[in-house]
């Protein structure tokens, strides 16, 4: 293996290790987020509140799009990601109301 190929392999390994650490952060962060949304779902069910809040969802999507721009992340991707999470949360909230 050439020096350049060896260096490339080392850089690849470093990037992959960082990606693995970031994936772990994402999973634990989502776990923590869903603990809170589960609590919100129970609270909404106890007080007969609707499982979704379109005004809050729209505000959160706009907020996330702005954060994505600041982070140099594709805002459309961020919006799709948050929409996916919101859909999951609403499903959880509906289950609490059953």
Domain residue spans of the chain:
1-49, 52-97
Average per-residue pLDDT in the chain? 93
- Whose CA is closest to 90, among 39, 53, 64, 58? 53
Residue 9 has pLDDT above 90, yes or no: yes
Output the pLDDT for position 28: 98
pLDDT per residue over 67-92, tens digit each?
999 999 999 999 999 899 989 889 88
The residue-averaged pLDDT of 53-65 equals 92
Q: Give the global pTM.
A: 0.78
For domain 52-97, give the fold. Chorismate Mutase Domain, subunit A (1.20.59)
Nearest-angstrom CA–CA distance, 82 and 88:
10
pLDDT tens-digit profile of 20-39? 999 999 999 999 999 999 99
pLDDT of residue 94: 87
Tokens of 50: 């609707």
Distance set, CA 17 to CA 32, 80, 91 (Å): 23, 26, 34
């Amino acid at each position: 293996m050439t020096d350049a190929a060896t260096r490339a392999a080392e850089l690849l390994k470093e990037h992959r290790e960082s990606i693995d650490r970031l994936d772990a952060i994402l999973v634990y962060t989502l776990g923590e987020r869903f603990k809170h949304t589960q609590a919100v779902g129970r609270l909404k069910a106890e007080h007969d509140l609707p499982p979704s809040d379109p005004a809050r969802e729209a505000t959160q999507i706009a907020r996330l799009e702005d954060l994505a721009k600041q982070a140099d992340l594709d805002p459309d991707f961020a919006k799709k990601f948050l929409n996916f999470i919101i859909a999951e949360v609403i499903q959880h909230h509906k289950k609490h109301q059953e």
